[in-house]
Chain A
Amino acid sequence: GESVGLHLPTLSVQEGDNSIINCAYSNSASDYFIWYKQESGKGPQFIIDIRSNMDKRQGQRVTVLLNKTVKHLSLQIAATQPGDSAVYFCAERYDFGNEKLTFGTGTRLTIIP
């Protein structure tokens, strides 16, 4: 079946550096993508989303890039801080009007002080 996959299960970044978390998706019909951050003992926290009619969207210290040609999604975090350490999930929706999200396996980001 369709799935969302992440290239790297773990990522370590020096504090203050930028980090990039990648995600591959397989369903070309997906119309919406979202990134969540999950800290230990907590539920996923919404970071940023992007619709398929866009290729870039920026938030506070975060940027999501969407490349529909290669079905690739990335999350860039600028000037990483210790509080950015968490597991990051990408998710896609490929059934318009359906809230069902299909999640990737997650990438653990560790910020090194």
Chain B
Amino acid sequence: KAGVTQTPRYLIKTRGQQVTLSCSPISGHRSVSWYQQTPGQGLQFLFEYFSETQRNKGNFPGRFSGRQFSNSRSEMNVSTLELGDSALYLCASSLWAGGLPQHFGDGTRLSIL
């Protein structure tokens, strides 16, 4: 069974640009959560999606948004990129809303120049 797949693995952008990251959950998993990981702040929750609806949101500005498709695949978008957005963005999936444990992908490393 394939794990959580995130694309691309690496991305370099400049300030002011926008970026879209993609996540395919484990087959059969319907809930997808996104996290940001930085050396200074650690792992921080961004948002969670289930049945194409955002269920929960962390304390991030509105520049961070996401969506989920009918096949449970999810995307997150960051607009007007800032240097501080450089991070590893991790996606995690679980069977259903509120289901644990979550299983993580290997992330997308985003670097802002």
Q: Which A residues contact B (CB, under 8 angstroms)? A: 32, 34, 36, 41-46, 49, 89, 91, 93, 96-106
Q: Dominant SS at the A interface? A: loop
Please classify the interface of chain B as helix (H, G, I), strand (E, B), loop, or mixed, using the class held by over half of its residues. Answer: strand
Partner of A98 from the list B4, B56, B90, B101 (CB cut-off 8 Å) is B56
Closest to B4 in A: A43
On chain A, the residues within 8 Å of B94 by CB distance are 99
Shortest C-beta distance, B81 to chain A (Å), equals 22
Interface size class of B (residues with CB under 8 A): 20 to 34
8 tightest CB-CB pairs across the interface, nearest first?
A43-B104, A103-B43, A97-B98, A43-B106, A44-B104, A100-B45, A46-B101, A42-B106
Residues of A with C-beta under 8 A to B104: 36, 43-46
Contact status B42-A99, CB under 8 Å:
no
